[in-house]
Amino acid sequence: MKNIAVVGSQWGDEGKGKIVDWLSEQADVVVRFQGGHNAGHTLVIKGVTYKLRLLPSGIVRKNKISIIGNGVVVDPWALLDEIEEIRSKGVDVNVDNFIISEAANLILPFHIEMDEIREDIAGKGKIGTTRRGIGPAYEDKVGRRSIRVMDLRSENNLDQRLESVLDHHNAIRKGLRKNLVKKDKLKSELLKIAPKILQFSQPVWLKIDEFKKQNKKILFEGAQGILLDVDHGTYPYVTSSNTVASSAATGSGCGPNSINYVLGITKAYTTRVGAGPFPTELTDKVGELLGTRGKEFGTVTSRKRRCGWFDGVLVRQTIKISGIDGIALTKLDVLDELDEIKMCIEYELDGKKLDYLPAAVEDQLKIKPIYKTFPGWKTSTNGIKNMDLLPENAKKYIFAVEKFIGAKVSSVSTSPERDDTILVENPFNI
Sign of CA dihedral 200, 190, 81, 229: negative
Question: In the chain, what's the furthest Cα-to-Cα distance?
Answer: 68
Q: What type of residue is 43?
A: L
The SS3 assignment for 62 reads coil
The SS3 assignment for 320 reads helix
Q: How far from chain centre, in Å, is Cα 336?
A: 26
Q: Give residues with Cβ within 8 angstroms of 251, minimum separation 6.
A: 33, 34, 69, 70, 71, 72, 241, 242
92 catalytic, yes or no?
no
Active-site residue, selected from the candidate residues 13, 21, 151, 325: 13
Nearest to 418 by CA among 395, 385, 391: 385
311 catalytic, yes or no?
no
Nearest to 310 by CA among 269, 370, 364, 267: 269
Query: d(Cα 245, Cα 211) in Å, to the nearest integer?
Result: 20
**Do 341 and 289 touch, CB atoms closer than 8 A?**
no
* 403 burial level (CB within 10 Å; 0-12, 13-18, 19+): exposed
Q: Give residues with Cβ within 8 angstroms of 417, minimum separation 6.
A: 44, 383
For residue 137, give Cα distances in angstroms to 18, 124, 140, 144.
28, 23, 5, 11
Q: How far from chain centre, in Å, is Cα 32?
A: 10
Active-site residue, selected from the candidate residues 41, 111, 169, 232: 41
Query: Active-site residues: which are they?
Result: 13, 41
